Each structure stands twice: as structure tokens, then as C-alpha cells.
Structure 1
Amino acid sequence: MVDLIAAEAETIGEPAVNISIFGVFVLITLVITFRASRTNKSAADFYAAGRNISGTQNGLAIAGDYLSAASFLGIAGAIAVYGYDGFLYSIGFLVAWLVALLLVAELMRNTARFTMADVLAFRMRQGPVRTAAAISTLVVSLFYLLAQMAGAGGLVTLLLGVSGEAAQALVVVVVGALMIFYVLVGGMRGTTYVQVIKATLLIAGAFVMTVWVLGKYGFSLSALIGGAIESGGQAVAEPGAQYGLTDVTKLDFISLGLALVLGTAGLPHVLMRFYTVPTAKDARRSVVWAIWLIGIFYLFSLVIGYGAGALVGKEEILAAPGAVNAAAPLLAFELGGTALLGIISGVAFATILAVVAGLTITASASFAHDVYASVIKKGNAAPGSEVKVARIAAIVIGAVAIGLGILALQAGLNIAFLVALAFAVAASANLPTILYTLFWKNFTTQGALWSIYGGLIACVTLIVFSPVVSGAPVNPATGKSTSLLQDVDFSWFPLNNPGLVSIPLSFFLGWLGTKLSKDRPDVDKYAELEVRSLTGIGAEKAVPH
């Protein structure tokens, strides 16, 4: 079977069957989205699903939002190729939820109305802080969208046998346009229902593949790892295959871990999910549900990754369209042929669809609510105009994401790695400001602006001048560099993930900006924020402008 996959490197399975299963998923989610759109009568409905999603439903939706293409395709591929080091992504993504649960979830739900900026601007000057928060939200969302678009393009390219860069780019355009449509029609309620269904299907599909793989090895994890070692060498069972080779890669691992653990609590599309529940208790319950579901899934991903390494093989995975991101679909084809491949790929496609919808609605809501309604219109936007602006913003954001996704797809970057960059930006630009706002009464507007802009500019600048964008060595399996830009080299920052530098810098700039500020902190406003965050009083009301 592996020989068959290698011989048909441009496609696996039957394209007609694959596209049919895709079509079924699309039709089902279209029906859900259209039904949900009937209840979108206000900005609260479009942004926060009317705040009537239960804790259990929201926990499933959070899992559906968080378990992205990076979790299913990227991590499975990283484990298949790098073994132990690939599983470190799973550990970082899961541990991050403890930060979100203990420090952020309940307080954010009680304090904000629609967006992260509702909290950050509560006791600051509205205009500059909301603008800064909106810019940060847009940048984080674009980095995250970049990974999802690359994953969607690689998956469809693999299943339909599309070859050539122009054809692959067209696939990304079509997939991106479809995803934008869901947001325009369904809003947050439609997005939530799609995420709930997608999480259920994804965990069920991962469970089936896990049991199937373990069954081939007598339900022995050690026998499975032994098979992976036989196929990929001893390195897949030992630390250091990816991050222990040199002092630079060891530092890169520390930087990656810092970004993963601290990034979740600063992701705008995750924070926005807390505003859809009616009470703080539901916010806590939703995070607990999410932790259990995500943790179970990541245990499945360990088996799926090692199963792909053992049954498919590292060389075949790297030679397929999508490279490391093709591990899970290739394993599905190896286990159950065309039928299982089509089902698993349909689930993966639904995964990407749900995550992109959540990201797009978050970014568009931030622009419409924080910039248009609060800064430009000073809180006096005409009825319905805010949602209209949000929909226009969704189209623009989607178009930019499509363009960046084409570059990422053609570079063959691991989408789990791309998502880690989004986590680094969120942890650098958002989390320090959120924590200072919630817990430091002397924090000022200048401190918030220095923290957001300083962390954001430092993080993005270091990414631009890192091997992620240019100067990475050529991958022998693909014959291309893993950088976004080929055949150029202007990199001077050695680490692939900038979190080790940009996150502490953002905390420092927030402190320094506050200490050097001539503004006096609004202690009364902080007292009001503290009461509101702990009790939830006033959470339904608009934040004063």
C-alpha cells in the first residue's frame, strides 16, 4: 500500500469520492448556517450568539475552535517525522489552557461585551487603546488564518490530485471564498453550531483511527513506537530530533514552549468564545469541558502520529503534496482505503472551516466594534451599520489570508509551526496587557499602548527577519527551502519563534510605559473593573465610551 501511495504522490484515493464527501460536509454546514442566520437580528446575535450558548455547548465549540488544522494535520505530521519533539506541540497547546482557566476566562466574560478591547479600554483612553487592540487582533488572526488556509489548500490538493502552483493557488482561493461565505451568513451562532458538530466528528474520527492503529500492534503503545523506530530510526523515540541538534534549536524550543503556554490566553478568537455564555459559571464549565476534550484528542494524536510514521513512513509523507501535513490523510488511506480517507479528510476540512469562521468573525468584529463603532463613530453608529461593516471587513480579511495562505502552501511549512507563530504574537501583544489591566491598579493608557505595540512590533519584526520568511536551508525531500520567500536571504534573527525575546519585552514595556507615564491611573475605574470582573455585574451592558 505504501508503494501505491509513493507511486501516486500527486493524489491518493479516488478524487470523485473525496469531492463527494466534501460536498456532503459543505451542504450540511450550509444548512446549519442558513438556519442560524434567521436569528441574527442584532450585533449581540452576530458577535456573541445572543449570549445564550450553554457551558457544555461552548466547551465543545471551544474545542472545535481550538483543535484546528494544526492540531489534526500539523501535530500528527510533526510526530510522524520528528517523534517525541513533535508531541511537544500537544503538551504546550494543552498546558496553555490552565493559564486561560485560572487567570482569564471568568474575568474576561464578566468584564467584556463583545471583544478583548472592551476589557483593555475599560479604564483607559478609549480611542488609542481600542485601535491598538484591534490592530493586534487583526495581526494574530491573519497569522492563524495563514496556517488554516495552507492546511486547506494542501489537503484539497492532495485529495484532488491538483498539480502546479497556479492550480494549488486556485484551490486556496476557492476554499477561502467558501469559508468567508459562512461567516457573512451565519455569524457567531452559525459558527458555534458548526464548531460543535466539527469537534464531535473530529474526536470521533481520531478515536476510530487510534483504535485501528493500536489494533494493528496488539493494542500495545510500545509495539507501535517500536514500529515507528523501525521505519524512521531511533530518533523518533528520543528528545532532540528537531529541537536538540544545536544550541540555537534548544533556544528555539524554549521560545516555542513559552509562546504555546502563554499564547492561548491572549488569542482573540478564544477570548471571544467566553462572551457567548450567560454566566461566569458557564464560562468556567466551558473551559473545563474544553480541557478534557482537547487533552483526550492530543492523546489520540500521539497514536495517529506514530502510526503514520510506522505504517506510511517518513519519506512518503515528506514527498506527498502538503509534506508533513499529509501524514493523517495518508494514514487514513493506509488503514481504510478511499472510504476512510474521504471521511477523515472531510472531517479535517470541516475542522479548517470551523476555525477559519471563528477567526474571521473575531477579526471583523474587532474592526467593526472597536474601530468603526467606538473610535470613528464615538459610540453613535447607526443601527445595523456595525454588522454591515463587520461583514465587509470579513471579506477584506479573508482576501488577505488567501494571499498569505498561497505563499505558505507553496513553501510547504508545517501548519502547527505556523499556528505557533500566531501564539507568539498573541502572547507578546495581548496577554501582558490583559494581565496588567485585570490585576495592576496603577496600569495606565501609555503602559497599555507600549505593551501592545511594543510586543506586536518586536514579535512581527523578529519573524520577518527569521528563517521563517527567508534564508532557511533547503529541505532535501522537497528540494525547496522551508521559508515563505524562496531564493532570498535577509534573515539575521536565528530563532524560528520569537517568543523568548518578544514576550518578556512586552511585559517590560508595559511596566516601563506605566512608570514613565504622566497620566494618573483611574483608581475608581479600576475598583469598578475589579467588582465587575469578580461578580459579572454589568456584563450585559455596553462599555462606556
Structure 2
Amino acid sequence: MNRLSSWGILAALLVPFGLAAAPALTGAVEQRSVNMTAIIMFLVFVVATLGITYWASKRTRTTKDFYTAGGGITGMQNGLAIAGDFMSAASFLGISGLVFASGYDGLIYSIGFLVGWPIIMFLIAEQIRNLGKFTFADVTSYRFGQTQIRTVAAISSLVVVAFYLIAQMVGAGKLIQLLFGLEYWLAVVAVGLLMMTYVIFGGMTATTWVQIIKAVLLLSGATFMAVAALSYFNFSPEQMFQQAVEIHPGGAAIMEPGSLVKDPINAISLGLALMFGTAGLPHILMRFFTVPNAKEARKSVFYATGFIGYFYILTFIIGFSAIVLLAQNPQFYKPEALNADGKVMLDQLVSGLAGGTNMVAINLAEAVGGNLFLGFISAVAFATILAVVAGLTLAGASAISHDLYASVIAKGRSNEATEIKVSRIATFVLGMVAIALGIAFESQNVAFMVGLAFAIAASANFPVLAASIFWGKMTTRGAFYGGFAGLISAVVLTILSKAVWGDVLGFTGVNAEGQVVPVGLIPLDNPAIISIPFAFFCIWLFSVLDQSERAKLERAAYFAQRVRCETGIGAEGAVAH
């Protein structure tokens, strides 16, 4: 498999990631023989989660049950579920592979994702729980025109979900083809059907518990792998780093920043997309309505941040330890990467790895735990994809049924039974579309889609959400045009970047060395540094220019909204403080 591009690592993810929050696995796949251990372990996971879905279906009777699990999830449980929704298979495989290849700089993506969580915890988690009911559009439309705001929120959410889902389904097919030895189309269909089963019958309750189980399995597997790997260095990180520097072709440079993202403008733009994109992902924001009150919402983000941060520390250990341990295992390398004695040539340590750097964590699992642990990690990787696509699909179905159908089309006159029916139909349609597009895009480079999903979430969802909470002068007109400005600018700038214009559409140019290479019309790899300020500017401009009577009423209503934001008075399950 080819090394993940920077777009492919974006997640979150997730959430995403995930693969959430999460990056997509793309490129050619070297198919392994069927791993029966992995398949048996995965079937055990499927049977257990289907049992949970059956249990959850008995408890899913109202829209509140379907969208938010009845609001009865604790902060600890929700924190694990958020982590399960955000920690992706591609984060696990991709970031550990980046650390293996580039050293210290491989953490740039995980740090970017992680920084988004304090923003969520301190700025918006409590306000979202106090103002909303089922989706983040409930918050952005609290004092504004329902039709306009829910329309732009639903469209941007569906675009984020669509791009994320396509990348996830293609990633699922590639990953399962790689790890299990199954056919690509079969893997895509299996993921799609299981995801539809979880969401249609179990709603948020089943989705939550699938994500919790997956998070526990992934954290347990990564912990065992990291501890087992560290045991080879007498549990001394210093010894691990020292040996890695001595073996790696990059030498001491792998302990320094700057090897992966050299352009500071692109680095800043990437960081903005990761931070604010995380705070605008609809399937992540939706999780704050599953807890009973704002206090539990804050607690859930606190726990999620701890779990996710711990997970990224593990990927760091896995990546560095693999530099030393994989060099001692020539069976993981291509024949041309070995010398006459059958040992790995150090200059081939990275480029000679069979399957590419995406296989670092998988190969290390086999090196430290044998075939049984390899099967476990492979099954966890598949379970990870299922957890993420279930969360994405539920967010998309909610945007269609709650925001578009119930609020815009039916104008609040629909009953709960009809709304749940529309949600389940939307889930089925989204699932079938995801399967079809996953199969259709098999040979396409879809890595940019994850980056685009984060850019849209950061440019369309986050500015409208933040301004609706913290700026009393915003109006319906400002939110409507600002949201679409962020959405359109993020899409257009992404199309003009090298990731799409050159790599996908095939436009080329000649570089300084006279080589023909893919090019973009703009130098940015990620549009966030332009599209986020542009969205805020449009929100400000169209709001201050709006002097209608409706706008005056909306500004006057801000004080009551602010009181509810800060105190929870009037919110369901509110705890005064």
C-alpha cells in the first residue's frame, strides 16, 4: 500500500476521524491470505453488537430515544463513545506509520486533533447541551429563522457526512482486503449492511455501545502493543529513541520538527482545519445531547480528551519502537530490501516495508504478539470502521429527518412516529448510497475527501455555531450567507489545490528540475486559513447590513439565549449552577 498522503491522514475524525474522526486508507493493496483468527474475532464482535442492537431496539420508541439514547448516557460512557467515534483505524495505522517514517513530525496530526477538544470543552459543550435537543442545528437556529438556518446546517452536515462516508467506505474496503484477505466489494457491503442494522434498529443507543466497545478494544490492544514493544527496551523510552535514531535512515533528524510539513502557511492552515473542524463535526456535536445535562456534557469531553490523548501517546510509542523491532524482522520486507545475509538494509527501512508504512502497526502486532494478537488488531480495525460509519450515518439521517423534514418541510407539525420512520428510511438510503459510492470509488484517490470534510466543518459549521452562541448581533441573513460562504469557499479552494486539481483531475506542470509533476492553481493544501475567516467575515457583513425588523427582534432575543447558555434555565435536564 502506498504511504498515506497528508490529506489521507486527516481525521475526527475522527472521526471522525473517525476512520473521528479519520483519515482514509488509499492506494494499491497487497492482499494477504485469509486470516481466520481475525475473522473469528470479528464475528464475535458482530454477534455481540447485534445482540446490543436487539436490546436497544426494545428501548427505542421515541425520537429522543432514536437520536440521543433518551439522554441517559453518563459522562464517562459518552466520553468513551466520543473517543470510539473519533479514534480511527487510519489514525492508528496512519499516524503510527507517519511516526515510523518521519519521527517526531508524525505527531502533527494527532496534536492538531487533540487541540480541538479543549475548544469544545471550554467554549461550546455546555452551551450546545443547554440550547439544543437533537442536532447542532437546534442550537444555530435557536433565535433565528428555522427554515433558512436549518437548511444551511443540514446541507453542510450532509456534505461533511457524504465526503467522510465515501472515504470511510473506500478505506474499509482497502483495509479489510489488506487485513482479512476478503474481496473489496464484499468488505464494503458488509460494513454498509452492519452499519444500517445498528442505526435503523438500535438508533443512538446501539451506536453508542458499539462505539464504547470499540474504544475499549482499541485502547486495550494499543496498550498491550505499546507495553510489549517497550519491554524490548527494558521499558526505557530513552533507550527506544536512542536505538531508533541509530537505525533510522533519517538519523537524529527524526527527533526534530520540520521534516513533514515545511511550509508554515500550510502548517497553520492544516492546524486550523483540524482544531475547528473537530468542533464542527455533526456526528461529534450530536453526542452532547445523549447526556442528561450540561455538567455531564463537560465531563464527557474531559474523559474523551484523556482517552484520545492517551491513544495518541500509544501511537507515538508504537511508531518509534517499530523502527527498531521491524528492522529485526525481515519477513515484513520486500526481497529487494534485504542484503545477501537476509537482513534489512537500513536505507530500505522505510521504503522497503511490504505493504507500505500503513502496515507498521499491523506488522508490529504480529512481531510482539504473534498471529493471535495480529488477528485481534485486525478485527479491532474493522470494528473501528463500523463504529465511525454508524455515527456518521446517524448524524446524516438526523439532518434529513429532524432538520429538513420535521422542521423545514413539515414545519414542526410532524409526529414522533413519522419522524422516526423518516430517519430509518434516510438511514437505509444513506447506507445504500455509501455502499454504491464506496464500490464506485474503489480505484479513485479519495484521500482529499476527509480533508474536505474537516475544512467544511471548520468553515461552514463552526463559524455559524460560534457566532450564534457568542455574538448577539448575528442575524438569520448573516448566518445563512456566512454558512454557505464557508461551505462553497472550502469546496472551491480544495478543488483548486494540488490534492484535487493535480492528483485527481490530472493537471500537471514543470518544476524547477524540469520534471512534469501534478500542480494546483493555488499553493494551499488546506483551505481553512482562507475559508474560515471568509465565513466569519460574511457572517459579520450580512448581519450588520441587516436592519430589518426581524433582525432587531433576533438581536433582542440574545440576552435570554445567553442566560439559558450559562445557567441552563429552561433546558431539559438542566442543573442550575
Please name the residue that 1:432 is paired with.
463
In the alignment, the residues of structure 2 paired with residue 262 and residue 506 of structure 1 have an alpha-carbon distance, to the nearest angstrom, of 13
Quick one: structure 1 residues 270 and 73, their matched pair in 2 at CA, closer, same or farther if it must change by over 3 Å?
same
Q: Cα offset for 1:253?
A: 1.6
474, 487, 490: which one aligns with 1:459: 490
Please name the residue that 1:394 is paired with.
427
Please name the residue that 1:18 is paired with.
38
Structure 2 residue identity aligned to 1:252: N
Please name the residue that 1:517 is paired with.
546
In the alignment, the residues of structure 1 paired with residue 521 and residue 474 of structure 2 have an alpha-carbon distance, to the nearest angstrom, of 34
Aligned 8 A contact 1:14 1:338 in 2: no
Q: CA RMSD for the aligned pairs?
A: 2.4
1:172 aligns with 2:188: yes
1:278 aligns with 2:309: no
In the alignment, the residues of structure 1 paired with residue 256 and residue 144 of structure 2 have an alpha-carbon distance, to the nearest angstrom, of 49
125, 128, 153: which one aligns with 2:148: 128
TM-score by length of 1: 0.87
In the alignment, the residues of structure 2 paired with residue 115 and residue 412 of structure 1 have an alpha-carbon distance, to the nearest angstrom, of 31
Structure 1 residue identity aligned to 2:401: A
Quick one: structure 1 residues 196 and 443, their matched pair in 2 at CA, closer, same or farther if it must change by over 3 Å?
same
In the alignment, the residues of structure 1 paired with residue 368 and residue 571 of structure 2 have an alpha-carbon distance, to the nearest angstrom, of 50
Structure 1 residue identity aligned to 2:568: G
In the alignment, the residues of structure 2 paired with residue 85 and residue 195 of structure 1 have an alpha-carbon distance, to the nearest angstrom, of 29
343, 351, 365: which one aligns with 1:315: 351
Q: Cα offset for 1:418?
A: 5.4
551, 558, 561: which one aligns with 1:529: 561
Aligned 8 A contact 1:54 1:282 in 2: yes
Partner SS state of residue 539, structure 1: coil
Partner SS state of residue 429, structure 1: helix
1:375 aligns with 2:408: yes
458, 475, 498: which one aligns with 2:527: 498
In the alignment, the residues of structure 2 paired with residue 359 and residue 273 of structure 1 have an alpha-carbon distance, to the nearest angstrom, of 11
Moved more, 329-338 or 170-179: 170-179
- Unaligned runs of 5+ residues in structure 2 are 1-28, 327-348, 506-515
Residue pairs, 1:79-478, within 5 angstroms: 79-162=99-182, 167-229=183-245, 230-234=247-251, 235-244=253-262, 249-312=263-326, 313-317=349-353, 319-320=354-355, 323-406=356-439, 410-411=443-444, 419-472=450-503
In the alignment, the residues of structure 2 paired with residue 221 and residue 151 of structure 1 have an alpha-carbon distance, to the nearest angstrom, of 32
In the alignment, the residues of structure 1 paired with residue 255 and residue 148 of structure 2 have an alpha-carbon distance, to the nearest angstrom, of 50
Partner SS state of residue 468, structure 1: helix
Structure 2 residue identity aligned to 1:497: N
Q: Percent identical across equivalent pairs?
A: 49
Partner SS state of residue 351, structure 2: helix
Residue deviations 1:438-477 (CA, integer Å, cap 9, x gap)? 1111100111012110001111112222222241399xxx
Partner SS state of residue 315, structure 1: coil
In the alignment, the residues of structure 2 paired with residue 239 and residue 447 of structure 1 have an alpha-carbon distance, to the nearest angstrom, of 40
Structure 1 residue identity aligned to 2:266: D
Aligned 8 A contact 2:172 2:188 in 1: yes
Residue deviations 1:311-340 (CA, integer Å, cap 9, x gap)? 3342355x51xx443332222122222211
Moved more, 101-110 or 76-85: 76-85
Residue deviations 1:201-228 (CA, integer Å, cap 9, x gap)? 1111111011011112222223333444
In the alignment, the residues of structure 2 paired with residue 42 and residue 287 of structure 1 have an alpha-carbon distance, to the nearest angstrom, of 26
Structure 2 residue identity aligned to 1:294: I
Count matched residues: 508
In the alignment, the residues of structure 1 paired with residue 218 and residue 420 of structure 2 have an alpha-carbon distance, to the nearest angstrom, of 31
Partner SS state of residue 279, structure 2: helix
Aligned 8 A contact 1:94 1:294 in 2: yes
In the alignment, the residues of structure 2 paired with residue 353 and residue 413 of structure 1 have an alpha-carbon distance, to the nearest angstrom, of 19
Residue deviations 1:520-544 (CA, integer Å, cap 9, x gap)? 2423422221122122233339xxx
Aligned 8 A contact 2:35 2:375 in 1: no
Write out the 4+ residue segments of structure 1 that deviate beyond 6 Å after TM superposition. 487-490
Structure 2 residue identity aligned to 1:35: W
In the alignment, the residues of structure 2 paired with residue 473 and residue 357 of structure 1 have an alpha-carbon distance, to the nearest angstrom, of 28
TM-score by length of 2: 0.83
64, 75, 87: which one aligns with 1:44: 64
In the alignment, the residues of structure 2 paired with residue 310 and residue 470 of structure 1 have an alpha-carbon distance, to the nearest angstrom, of 38
Please name the residue that 2:11 is paired with.
none
Moved more, 265-274 or 108-117: 265-274
Q: Cα offset for 1:26?
A: 1.1
Quick one: structure 1 residues 43 and 151, their matched pair in 2 at CA, closer, same or farther if it must change by over 3 Å?
same
In the alignment, the residues of structure 2 paired with residue 393 and residue 327 of structure 1 have an alpha-carbon distance, to the nearest angstrom, of 38
Moved more, 530-539 or 42-51: 530-539
Structure 1 residue identity aligned to 2:397: S
